[in-house]
């Protein structure tokens, strides 16, 4: 899936007092998407489905249009100072997605229409830290790109930060719905990162996101538009033929963007990990998943959030890291590998 067009939309009444709320309402009326009202996103009811699995799938195809009420931004260390609200949730179905556990009971996508108020708050955070630069991450609570054609919110944020001498934006995506961002006046103040993986991993574990070639092509367009660019290769997974596939990934990237001058090109490398809670949820939600979560192939690591997680055994992780660092060093000698975890 390249972009998300919902099957059902809920509106909070207050959203209709904002231009973006009105615009979205008119759009969905025009294209014939069923519209319902809800007093609050917490009270969304009536998502169809006679089993939990069907309800979950339908909820992922549902959009809730509302207001961001809390104007305190969460922190987003170490890669940014703050998480800037833009939306919550994602229509993708990545088996290992962190939203499986954090948004389990509310998997629908929520977008906010009070963007001016959010940007005003961002301005006050920038002001507080002057003359230091303040970085905002827009993808902490979901992927912000698949519905950009509906809201235009990212473009607003990008152009706003482009005008802020000390404001920076960053986000990560698995979607290629970025054409409307290519002419944004970003002024080099927004770093777009693509979450990429082998064709096998994307095909088997990342349903309802953009494909392997689509993401690489989108990254090429973003680089040509002069954005600071980065890649998150995650989760790195061991399966039969994985070494060849990761090599193919780096070579394909090189074919598409190797000839471009990309300032501060950066790679982040994250091996697959899971917790017991996540494993249970994934097995329930995607019972046919081929994702290997056999604890015997893993070692335990104490996680930041007070839970043990299972990562690859030391030798496997070392091989993974060495191989990818060498490939990146060979094909992208001026790029930096920010970390491997």
Residue numbers at the binding site for ligand SF4 (CB under 6 A): 90, 92, 94, 97, 99, 142-143, 174, 206, 209
* Contact residues for 305 (Cβ-Cβ < 8 A; gap 6+): none
Cα gap 66→148, rounded to integer Å: 16
Rg of the chain on CA atoms, in Å:
20
* Long-range Cβ pairs for the range 321-330 (8 Å, 24+): 321/269, 323/243, 323/246, 323/247, 324/233, 324/236, 324/246, 324/250, 324/267, 324/269, 325/269, 327/246, 327/247, 327/250, 328/250, 328/267
CB of 329 to ligand SF4, least distance (A): 27
C-alpha angle 68-70-72 in degrees, rounded to nearest 5: 125
CB of 135 to ligand SF4, least distance (A): 20
Between residues 114 and 209, which has the closer beta carbon with respect to ligand SF4? 209
CB of 286 to ligand SF4, least distance (A): 12
CB of 314 to ligand SF4, least distance (A): 26
Between residues 99 and 327, which has the closer beta carbon with respect to ligand SF4? 99
Between residues 4 and 310, which has the closer beta carbon with respect to ligand SF4? 4
CB of 235 to ligand SF4, least distance (A): 9
Between residues 133 and 270, which has the closer beta carbon with respect to ligand SF4? 270
Other beta carbons less than 10 A from residue 53's beta carbon: 13
CB of 72 to ligand SF4, least distance (A): 23
Between residues 137 and 143, which has the closer beta carbon with respect to ligand SF4? 143
Between residues 99 and 282, which has the closer beta carbon with respect to ligand SF4? 99
CB of 166 to ligand SF4, least distance (A): 29
Contact, 311 vs 298, CB < 8 A?
Answer: yes
Between residues 121 and 215, which has the closer beta carbon with respect to ligand SF4? 215
- The H-or-E segment that residue 53 falls in is helix 52-59
> Residue ranges of the alpha helices (H) in 194-288?
199-205, 212-224, 242-257, 276-285
Q: Which residue has tokens 């039969």?
A: 240
> Residue ranges of the alpha helices (H) in the chain?
19-31, 52-59, 99-102, 115-129, 148-151, 153-162, 199-205, 212-224, 242-257, 276-285, 314-331
């Amino acid at each position: 899936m390249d972009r998300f067009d919902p099957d059902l939309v809920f509106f909070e009444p207050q959203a209709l007092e904002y231009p973006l709320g009105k615009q979205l309402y008119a759009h969905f009326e025009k294209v014939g998407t069923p519209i319902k009202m809800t007093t609050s996103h917490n009270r969304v009811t009536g998502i169809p489905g006679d089993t939990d699995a069907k309800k979950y799938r339908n909820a992922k195809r549902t959009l809730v249009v509302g207001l961001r009420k809390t104007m305190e931004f969460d922190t987003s260390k170490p890669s940014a100072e703050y998480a800037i609200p833009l939306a919550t949730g994602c229509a993708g179905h990545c088996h290992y997605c962190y939203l499986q556990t954090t948004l389990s009971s509310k998997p629908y996508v929520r977008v906010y229409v009070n963007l001016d108020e959010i940007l005003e708050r961002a301005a006050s955070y920038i002001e507080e830290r002057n003359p230091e630069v303040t970085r905002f991450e827009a993808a902490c609570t979901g992927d912000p790109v698949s519905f950009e054609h509906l809201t235009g919110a990212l473009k607003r944020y990008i152009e706003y930060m482009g005008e802020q001498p000390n404001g920076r934006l960053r986000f990560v995506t698995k979607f290629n719905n970025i054409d409307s961002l290519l002419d944004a006046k970003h002024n080099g103040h927004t770093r777009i990162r693509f979450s990429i993986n082998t064709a096998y991993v994307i095909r088997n574990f990342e349903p309802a996101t953009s494909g392997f070639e689509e993401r690489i092509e989108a990254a090429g367009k973003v680089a040509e538009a002069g954005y600071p660019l980065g890649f998150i290769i995650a989760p790195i997974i061991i399966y039969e033929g994985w070494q060849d596939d990761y090599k193919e990934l780096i070579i394909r990237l090189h074919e598409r963007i190797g000839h471009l001058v990309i300032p501060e090109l950066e790679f982040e490398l994250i091996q697959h990990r899971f917790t017991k809670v996540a494993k249970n949820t994934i097995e329930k939600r995607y019972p046919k998943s081929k994702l290997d979560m056999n604890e015997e192939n893993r070692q335990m690591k104490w996680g930041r959030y007070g839970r043990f997680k299972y990562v690859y055994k030391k030798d496997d992780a070392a091989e993974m890291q060495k191989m990818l660092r060498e490939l990146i060093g060979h094909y992208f000698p001026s790029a930096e590998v920010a970390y491997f975890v």
